[in-house]
Amino acid sequence: MTSGEGFGKVHVITGPGKGKTTAAFGLAMRAAGHGYRVCVVQFMKTGETTGEFLAARNIENIDVVQFGSGRFVVQGRPTEADVKAARAALDAVRARFAGGSCQMIILDEVNVAVWMGLIKVDEVLGVLKSRPTGTEIVLTGRNAPEEFVEYADYVSVIENVKHPYSNGTGARKGVEW
C-alpha cells in the first residue's frame, strides 16, 4: 500500500508518565487497521516479553524489531554494546526507509537513547529528514530533546499524576509490561 493521505507527520510522545509506548502502539493499531504497514524499531529493549510486542506478532501489518544490549544503561556512560545496538536501530530505520515498505515507523525509546548518550540528536534528525515523503514517524520516550519537540508536528506529554508504584506496587504483567 502506498502512503496514507496526509501521512508524513512527526509525533513526539514524551514525559515522565506511564503509557508512551502504549500510545505509540495505539497509533500502530489504528494505522494497521486501515491497511497501512507499521514498523516499530525499539531502542534499548530486548527479550520480546512486553504485551505490545507479543500482541503485534499477531497483527499482519505491524513488524517489531528490538535493539538493546539487555543490560541497564547508565546515563552518560553507555557501553560499546549499548552504542552499537542504538546505531543498529538507526540503521534498521534507514533500511526501512530505503525499502519503502512502511507507511509508519515508530522509534520507540529513541528519546531515552539520545538522553543516555547512545546516539546524538543530529543523527536522529538526519535520519528523520531523509524519510520518504508520506512516511509517518513516531518518537517515544522520556526526556525528548527540545530539537525533536521543535521538529515535530504533534507533541504529547504524558504526565505522572498518580501511579501505584508510588505506594510500593511493582510492575504488573499486562498493565506496565
What size, in residues, is the chain?
Answer: 177
Residue 82 to residue 78: CA distance in whole angstroms: 6
pLDDT at residue 158, rounded to an integer: 96
Torsion of CA 32, 34, 35, 40, to 10 degrees: -20
pLDDT at 2: 54
pLDDT tens, per residue, the chain with 177 residues: 455 567 999 999 999 999 999 999 999 999 999 999 999 999 998 887 788 889 999 999 999 999 998 888 888 888 999 999 999 999 999 999 999 989 999 999 999 999 999 999 999 999 999 999 999 999 999 999 999 999 999 999 999 888 877 788 888 777 777
Determine the pLDDT at residue 50. Answer: 84
Q: Supply the CATH classification number for the domain 10-135.
A: 3.40.50.300
Do residues 42 and 64 lie in contact, with contact meaning Cβ atoms separated by under 8 Å? yes
Domain positions in the chain are 10-135
- Here the cell at position 67 is 535493539
* 86, three cell numbers: 542504538
The amino acid that residue 33 corresponds to is G
- Distance from C-alpha of 74 to C-alpha of 9, rounded to nearest angstrom: 32
Cell of 27: 497509533
Are residues 107 and 138 in contact, defined by beta-carbon separation less than 8 angstroms?
yes
**The three three-digit cell numbers of residue 52, written as one number:** 505490545
